[in-house]
């Protein structure tokens, strides 16, 4: 409820400020901005009136019926007003956030014909008036305008989403922009280097007969097929992890520190890598045992059953990850701060999400990145925001992010994504069947491979899977990016915080290129770029400036 009041006040201010700017053109905008600089981006004034004895109720009624609606109509925000019976006083808070100065706006209000026409005029009942400009300390309706909205993106009668988007993007200093571009563009090359390095390792294992020897060892140790599969898997995973370790260190540790995104020293970082390897051995082990089980039992239709097993594991993994896997790396706690939790849960209820908790993850243990996510499947779904987001962002930014995450939830993105990647999995297995047959005919003898159900052929399958997903990069990115865009639109409608969205999009620009070309965005981006997201937010803002429910009558 508090959130809704805040949003209403905010749209009133935007709507009215936009309309009123038509009436009073501001030739000296720059000068006015300077004088208002003391309380930018929004001015809040606390007014304490001592009312003539016996007139407090009359005053309050006249104020509520006359002053309050007129002030709102003229672009002010009034989050609260109270009567103090003991002292016969009336206290209220009035704010203004727009292109004019508070004083000019206030004088224009008093000089207006509408103000002069107020009946009854409560002013004569004021015996003494005290006014102070105040600074918000807590978030809430009165603090929403602490967002650093740049000139050009502020509400006005000539608000233009493109100009506003450019104004936001222009707030990022060129050196910071260059750094973030370099980081993200380096990531394009890393996609290629990872595929090439893995391919080299897999071909090495096949070509040197190393893979066949790992199989032979597994077969000597045990006669049990599942155990042989597991033993081969452990060797395969450890050997590839060791051979690819230099690349892993570079991209996961050195490079992250170079760009100031990492917070871990080498020891804890290595610890996380080893934990990841252990999870891969256990969960991956169960998976390969199941897949090789069906490959052995269905020599012709193994690719169909392999797809079924893979999709089943994908769903199981998504289901258990938030409960059993993520907590191995980070601490998850329930969000306690009611100031943040209450508006989030209110938004969740408003959108039909039966959430009673919001989770916070201590992502700052590894990284400075601001992030949030929806995880889980079939009952383990949860919304998690990371502590960087909580610590670095204002409430409107958090609300806008949570609106986005709720969009993933309400739009069933997890289930649709499972279907999409399920189809890719079936197609992938069909590709594996054709390509592995082709490769085994040509190189099977040289690599000492007996057939598709031979454990020693695992590097060949890994190579083909890596090539398949490498080629599909633009397809998978575009699918995910499209869902992210849908979640953005949902979030804007749910949270009503276009400036919060824009400000957080700039923070995501710490690690994602803000303004790429369209082809670049299509191929490489698994989330919309900063420009795309900010433009969507500013477009929403523009439409809510002109068609807001409260601007029609002004």
CB nearer to Zn ion: pick between 433 and 513:
513
Q: Is 145 in the site for Zn ion (CB under 5 A)?
A: no
Closest C-alpha to 400, from 528, 488, 508, 483: 488
Shorter beta-carbon distance to Zn ion: residue 12 or 487? 487
β-bridge pairing 126-134 and 332-334: unpaired
String of DSSP letters for 357-421: --EEE-GGGTB----EEEE-STT--EEEEEHHHHHH--HHHHHHHHHHHHHHHHTTHHHHHHHHH
Q: Tell the smallest beta-carbon distance from residue 491 to Zn ion (Å).
A: 9
Range 462-501, binding Zn ion (CB under 5 A): 484, 487
Give 92 or 540: the residue with its C-beta nearer to Zn ion.
540
Q: Would you say 106 or 510 has its CB closer to Zn ion?
A: 510
Task: Copy the structure tokens of residue 188.
Answer: 């394009």
Q: Taking the complex as a whole, how short is the minimal distance between the CB of residue 374 and Zn ion, in angstroms? A: 8
Q: What is the DSSP letter of 120?
A: S
Closer by beta carbon to Zn ion, 344 or else 487: 487
- Size, binding site for Zn ion by CB under 5 A: 2
Q: Which residues contact 356 (CB under 8 A, 6 or more apart)?
A: 345
Residue that has been written with the tokens 């000492």 in this structure: 448
Shorter beta-carbon distance to Zn ion: residue 397 or 484: 484
- Contacts (CB under 5 A) with Zn ion, residues 58-117: none
Tell me the per-residue interface mask from 402 to 421 with Zn ion, x by CB under 5 A, - otherwise.
--------------------
Residue (74 or 531) nearer to Zn ion, CB: 531
Please state, in angstroms and rounded to a whole number, the distance separating the CA atoms of residues 168 and 40. Answer: 17
**Nearest approach, Cβ of residue 186 and Zn ion (Å):** 23
We find the least distance from the C-beta atom of residue 198 to Zn ion, in angstroms, to be: 28
Peptide bond before residue 289 is cis, with ω within 30 degrees of 0 = no
- Residues 304 to 333 in contact with Zn ion, rule: CB under 5 A: none
Determine the 3-state secondary structure of 151 from DSSP.
Answer: coil
Contacts of 552 (CB under 8 A, 6+ apart): none
Smallest separation, CB 414 to Zn ion (Å): 11
Separation of alpha carbons 406 and 413, rounded Å: 10
Cβ at position 123, least distance to Zn ion in Å: 52
> 418, exposed or middle or buried, with CB in 10 Å at 0-12, 13-18, 19+?
middle
Least Å from the CB of residue 348 to Zn ion = 16
In the complex with Zn ion, the residue whose CB is nearer, 347 or 487, is 487
Least separation in angstroms between residue 405's CB and Zn ion is 6
The dihedral sign for the CA sequence 122, 127, 128, 134:
negative
Q: Provide the binding-site residues for Zn ion, judged by CB under 5 A.
A: 484, 487
């Amino acid at each position: 409820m508090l959130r809704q009041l805040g949003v209403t006040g905010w749209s009133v201010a935007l709507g009215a400020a936009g309309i009123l700017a038509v009436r009073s053109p501001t030739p000296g905008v720059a000068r006015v901005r300077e004088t208002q600089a003391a309380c930018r981006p929004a001015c809040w004034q606390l007014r304490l009136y001592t009312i003539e004895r016996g007139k407090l109720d009359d005053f309050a009624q006249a104020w509520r019926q006359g002053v309050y609606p007129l002030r709102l109509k003229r672009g002010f925000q009034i989050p609260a007003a109270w009567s103090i019976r003991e002292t016969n006083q009336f206290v209220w808070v009035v704010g203004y956030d727009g292109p004019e100065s508070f004083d000019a706006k206030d004088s224009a209000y008093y000089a207006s014909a509408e103000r002069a026409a107020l009946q009854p005029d409560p002013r004569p009942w004021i015996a003494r008036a005290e006014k102070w400009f105040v600074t918000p300390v807590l978030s809430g309706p009165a603090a929403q305008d602490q967002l650093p909205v740049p000139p050009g993106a502020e509400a006005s009668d000539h608000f233009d989403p493109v100009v506003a988007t450019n104004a936001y993007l222009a707030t990022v200093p060129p050196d910071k922009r260059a750094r973030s571009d370099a980081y993200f563009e380096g990531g394009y090359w890393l996609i290629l280097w990872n595929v090439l390095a893995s391919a080299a390792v897999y071909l090495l294992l096949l070509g040197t007969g190393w893979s066949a020897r790992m199989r032979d060892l597994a077969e000597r140790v045990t006669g049990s097929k599942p155990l042989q599969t597991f033993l081969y898997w452990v060797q395969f995973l450890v050997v590839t992890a060791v051979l690819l370790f230099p690349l892993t260190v570079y991209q996961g540790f050195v490079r992250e520190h170079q760009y100031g995104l990492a917070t871990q020293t080498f020891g804890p970082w290595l610890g996380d890598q080893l934990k990841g390897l252990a999870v891969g051995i256990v969960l991956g082990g169960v998976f390969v045992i199941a897949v090789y089980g069906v490959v052995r039992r269905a020599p012709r239709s193994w690719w169909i059953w392999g797809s079924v097993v893979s999709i089943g594991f994908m769903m199981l993994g998504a289901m258990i990850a938030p409960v059993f896997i993520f907590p191995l790396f980070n601490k998850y706690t329930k969000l306690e701060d009611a100031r943040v939790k209450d508006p989030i849960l209110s938004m969740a209820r408003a959108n039909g999400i039966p959430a009673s908790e919001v989770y916070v993850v201590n992502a700052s243990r590894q990284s400075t990145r601001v992030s949030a996510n929806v995880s889980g499947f079939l009952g383990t779904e949860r919304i998690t925001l990371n502590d960087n987001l909580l610590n670095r962002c204002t409430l409107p930014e958090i609300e806008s992010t949570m609106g986005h995450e709720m969009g993933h939830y309400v739009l069933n993105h997890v289930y649709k994504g499972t279907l999409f990647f399920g189809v890719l999995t079936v197609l992938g297995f069909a590709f594996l069947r054709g390509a592995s047959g082709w490769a085994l005919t040509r190189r099977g003898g040289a690599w000492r491979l007996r057939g598709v159900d031979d454990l020693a052929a695992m590097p060949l399958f890994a190579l083909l899977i890596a090539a398949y997903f490498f080629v599909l990069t633009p397809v998978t990115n575009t699918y995910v990016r499209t869902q992210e865009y849908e979640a953005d639109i949902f979030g804007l409608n749910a949270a009503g915080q276009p400036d919060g969205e824009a400000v957080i999009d700039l923070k995501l620009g710490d690690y994602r290129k803000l303004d790429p070309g369209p082809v670049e965005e299509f191929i490489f981006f698994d989330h919309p770029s900063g420009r795309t997201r900010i433009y969507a937010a500013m477009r929403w803002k523009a439409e809510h400036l002109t068609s807001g429910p409260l601007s029609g009558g002004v």
